[in-house]
Structure 1
Amino acid sequence: MSHSRRYYGQYCGLASALDVIGERWTLLIVRELLLGPKRYGELLAALPGMGTNLLADRLKFLVENGVLTKPANRDQGYALTEVGRQLRDPVLKLANWGMGFLGRPDDDLEVRPHWGFLAVQSMIDANRAGDVDEAYEFHVDDVVFHIQVADGQVKALEGPYGGEAAMVARTDAYTFVEIGAKRLTPFEALASGRLSMIGDVESIMRCSALLGLAPGTPTH
């Protein structure tokens, strides 16, 4: 246990949670592992600006506290435990809340395509799913994922949809995050050529509504 680690010393659930995940970089490690297990080198590459010693410290602490499992060999990666996976909804909600504070995407800010997948999950409002059975596919740079709506349930899944998607969108990661932050509407991105969408108008509008991007949707 690091002597420099800060503890709140309060008998409170929130303070107790922050004792475990409140240190800088910790939730970003969780963000990466929400997409699946990753080896040490993969985590280091996915977290630009984080030094190797700090990553090792954070991983050790999270393993000791039962949030992560340590890989048994070099071919395996760190993974979230059941306790760690319980952070999915809070992290997605926090990510969605944080979009309201995003400014202009300066050139010195990193963005990765797979973060777009988490952004989509954070934007989904299942109450807007409607009575349909269809899928929407997203190509963000070199990453593909899709949303499937069926029987009032919504799932966001990595990889292309197995059948014919009702809508296919293609864009880059910067544009995708700007749209999610509502700094740019999908229709502005379409007009500027930064986004392409294939599908019937009704499906495109249903997908936009599902993600809170339809015209008239309240901003953050």
Structure 2
Amino acid sequence: MAAALDILGERWTLLIVRELLTGPCRYNELQANLPGIGTNLLADRLKFLTEMDIIRQRSQDGAKTRMYELTEQGESLRTAVLDLARWGLGMLGTPEAEEVVRPRWGVLAVEAMIDPRHAGPDEVYEFRLDDEVFHIDVKDGRVKVLHGKAPAEPALVVRTDAVTFVEIGAGRLNPLEATLTRRVVMEGAEEAVLRCSRLLGLMS
């Protein structure tokens, strides 16, 4: 644990890893998604994580702007980060007005909430959090959370905003109340709604 904390225990380091677990990012995207981090500190952390072979830079489709992404070593932190996120959900209060909640964080929040023991039949659930779209793919008893729209007709489409989603995940807002007040809109068969809710641990 001490060896791990020597690398990951610095302020902002795991939050940078969290951002990259949802996909590659440009420098300015990382800075925008980490409110409060100074540009010099971000540059220092990225340099250190690169030296530790946790992240790397690459060009995207020949573009001049370089992206940061996780290496295999960095990707291996996914389980630990998800466990921390799952634990942290229970510590959250209702977000204050001045607090920033990024829709992109919903991808990891969903992944942290999933209980694969409740994986049902093969189907896809699509989530639209503000301008972020991702989906859960259930196939052969395995569950994956993927960016973008569902490749086929989803069994369920969930529309909400990032703040509402965090409140539900933290147990501060009842999913039924959120649905009745139209803070969450779900389109799909009732059976699919129930299966998705069980998968995310929102009902027993």
Are residues 1:124 and 2:114 paired? yes
Unpaired runs of at least 5, structure 1: 1-13
**Partners in 1 of 2:147 and 2:43 — Cα distance?**
28
Letter aligned with residue 86 of structure 2: N
Are residues 1:70 and 2:60 paired? no
The percentage of aligned residue pairs carrying the same residue is 59
TM-score by length of 2: 0.95
Cα displacement (A) at 1:148: 0.9
Structure richer in strand, relative to its length: 2
Q: 3, 18, 24: which is aligned to 2:11?
A: 24
Are residues 1:39 and 2:26 paired? yes
Are residues 1:160 and 2:149 paired? yes
**Partners in 1 of 2:126 and 2:117 — Cα distance?**
20
8 Å CA contact retained: 1:70, 1:77: yes
Task: List structure 1 runs of 4+ shifted beyond 6 angstroms.
Answer: none
Deviations 1:72-107 (A, max 9, x none): 684221111110010111101111110000012111
**Partners in 2 of 1:138 and 1:35 — Cα distance?**
15
| Residue in structure 1 matched with residue 78 of structure 2 by the alignment | 88
Are residues 1:213 and 2:202 paired? yes
| Residue in structure 1 matched with residue 90 of structure 2 by the alignment | 100
**Partners in 2 of 1:34 and 1:95 — Cα distance?**
12
**Partners in 1 of 2:160 and 2:24 — Cα distance?**
26
Deviations 1:132-184 (A, max 9, x none): 11111111001111101111111111111121111111000000011111111
**Partners in 2 of 1:82 and 1:74 — Cα distance?**
24
Cα displacement (A) at 1:71: 4.2
SS of aligned partner of 2:127? strand
Larger radius of gyration: 1
Are residues 1:199 and 2:188 paired? yes
| Residue in structure 2 matched with residue 179 of structure 1 by the alignment | 168
| Residue in structure 1 matched with residue 2 of structure 2 by the alignment | 15
8 Å CA contact retained: 1:39, 1:74: no
**Partners in 2 of 1:163 and 1:65 — Cα distance?**
40
**Partners in 2 of 1:198 and 1:83 — Cα distance?**
39
Higher RCO, 1 or 2 (CA under 8 Å, sep at least 6)? 2
**Partners in 1 of 2:137 and 2:51 — Cα distance?**
37
Q: 44, 53, 56: which is aligned to 2:43?
A: 56
Flag the 1:48–1:74 CA change in 2: closer, same or farther, 3 A: farther
